[in-house]
Structure 1
Amino acid sequence: MELKGADDVTNIFSDGRMHPGLWPLDEVDPKNAKFPCCIVWTPLPVVSWLAPFIGHVGICREDGTVVDFSGSNFVSIDDFAYGVVARYLQLNREQCCFPPNLSGHTCKQGYRHMEHGSAITWDDALGLGMHHFEHKSYNLFTCNSHLFVANCMNRFCYGGSLGWNMVNVAALILLKGQWMDSMSIVRSFFPFAAVLCMGLMVAGWPFLIGLASFWLLLIGWFLLGTYCAKHLFEC
């Protein structure tokens, strides 16, 4: 990414305050898989065929490079696991806190943010998150890509919150994420539609009841682990 001149290395907040160190980002470039400061999502093989709201996520550097926790002790860079990006959501760096010291906090969390693991830049937060997850065992149900993204977002206290977790990261991209194109929608939902039709043809309504029960168990597990038994998802 081409660096801007000294006069350009300053962004203006909506209330008129100047925020040093935030140069303008390049445009999202799907052709070259560059998504500056975005959360990106793609469906998972087999799992998304049964539950299309489940997928794999990553978070991108300021230059648009995708970073994702894709396996035990492994965080990939510029090699998004499970296929090309289907949805993306660009985050606003003005809602981040990058304190050079304790007195430099722009969020209200202060000591809690510092103890949690604050970062001085966007890419620094991603680097710290990568270092943390390079020593973790991947598990779809307890230590996955959503927790990696949540960890990074907590490091820059996005939106003034240190409460980012698997559930609200998933909700954020599913509710506010932008589809890449119509083919991304087809790629995400066609396998599920095919499985649903085949299941109804072969087993009828019992298949639909079983699928609904599977969804309830899956959603219940993530909600329980996130909000009632947090030690399950400490990775």
Structure 2
Amino acid sequence: MMELKEAYDIERMSSTQNIQHELWPLDEIDPKKAKFPCCIVWTPLPVVSWLAPFIGHVGICREDGAILDFSGSNFVNVDDFTFGPVARYLQIDRKQCCFAPNLGGHTCKHGYEHSEFGTAITWDDALRSSSRYFEHKTYNLFTCNCHSFVANCLNRLCYGGSISWNMINVAGLVLLKGHWVDATSVLRSFLPFVLVLAIGVAMVGWPFVVVLFSFSLLLLVWFILGSYCVKTLLEC
């Protein structure tokens, strides 16, 4: 009887893991309906992106395409991207994620470390866990923002075999590999910056360019220091 019970438990566990790890087909990406299944999405921020166009607002999408974004203290927005339509997106390959129902089910190299950080058995499960976590976080553009939320989701998924996602590499991932939705999105992202630059040069002269690029450099240095040197500065 004991042998039969053990065989049954093993078979049931195997069956459960197959169900949990089965990757259901995703619907097509549909920008008109704002549906981006398993994508990281990006849109420019008012004022901030006018001065530093590489900075924007990011969110991450459920398997049904609904966008989730950390847009304020104790608040994760669902299916209503806070700062306007998506301008750029990158669909994530779920096969590069680690869905571990238990310590023996890890497909990543981290094992216990991944479990301590927080694992997920499905894509949506990771997003739900991160949403609950950030519903108790105070939003701050410089220390705990939308990039922190997306990085937390990717770390729970161990996307690409990594649990070291942060603001910098999330931003780089979208900016370097992301796809533009259309030509209008490109204009919406860069035209305000070009206009601000042109008006500033016309009114102040070339010192305005120095100030503008110094502002961008200071932001970049802050996030690099917080992400890689003084990791307690930023939340991920």
Using the size of structure 1 for normalisation, the TM-score is 0.91
Residue type of the partner of 1:152? C
Partner Cα separation in structure 2 for residue 124 and residue 154 of structure 1: 13
RMSD: 0.9
Pick 1 or 2: higher relative contact order, CA cutoff 8 A, min separation 6: 2
Superposed counterparts of 1:117-156, under 5 Å: 117-156=118-157
- 1:193-208 counterparts in 2 under 5 A? 193-208=194-209
| Greater fraction of residues in helix | 2
Following superposition of structure 1 onto structure 2, how do residues 3-82 of structure 1 map, counting pairs within 5 Å? 20-82=21-83
CA distance in 1, matches of 2:25, 2:229: 40
Once residues 186 and 31 of structure 1 are traced to their aligned partners in structure 2, the CA distance between those partners, rounded to angstroms, is: 18
Greater Rg by CA: 2
Look up the SS of the partner of 1:139 in the other structure: coil
Deviations 1:90-139 (A, max 9, x none): 00000000011100001111000000000110000000000000001101
Q: Which residue of 1 aligns with 2:105?
A: 104
Distance in 2 (alpha carbons) for counterparts of 1:234 and 1:77: 21
Contact 2:21–2:122, Cα closer than 8 Å, also in 1: no
Which residue number in structure 2 is paired with residue 83 of structure 1?
Answer: 84
Matched AA of 2:45: L
Give the match's secondary structure for 1:34. coil
Give the counterpart letter for 1:84 in structure 2.
Answer: P
2-side partners of 1:170 and 1:234: how far apart?
15
Cα deviation digits, residues 58-88 of structure 1 (max 9, x gap): 0000010000000001001001010000000
Q: 1:6 aligns to what?
A: none
Give the residue type in structure 1 aligned to 2:83: Y
Deviation at 1:234, TM superposition (A): 2.9
Q: Secondary structure of 2:189's match?
A: helix
The SS at the match of 2:35 is: coil
**Counterpart amino acid of residue 101 in structure 1:** N
3-state SS in 2 of match to 1:39: strand
Separation in 2, partners of 1:101, 1:58: 28
1:20 offset after TM fit, Å? Answer: 4.2
C-alpha distance in 2 between matches for 1:43 and 1:231: 27
Amino acid at match of 1:94: K
Q: Distance in 2 between matches of 1:51 and 1:181?
A: 21
What is residue 168 of structure 1 aligned with on the other side? Answer: 169
- How far, CA to CA, are the matches of 1:163 and 1:178 in structure 2? 24
Contact 2:21 2:99 in 1 (8 A): no
TM-superposed CA distance for 1:49, in Å, is 0.3
Deviation for aligned residue 1:31: 1.0
CA distance in 2, matches of 1:215, 1:56: 16
Task: Look up the match of 2:211.
Answer: 210
Which residue identity does 1:44 align to in structure 2?
L
Distance in 2 (CA, whole Å) between partners of 1:75 and 1:143 is: 13
User: Which structure 1 segments of 5+ residues have no match?
Assistant: 1-18
Larger deviation, residues 208-217 vs 190-199: 208-217
Structure 2 letter corresponding to 1:81: T
Aligned AA for 1:119? Answer: A
Q: Matches of 1:114 and 1:134 in 2, distance apart? A: 21
TM superposition shift of 1:215: 1.2
Residue identity opposite 2:64 in structure 1: D
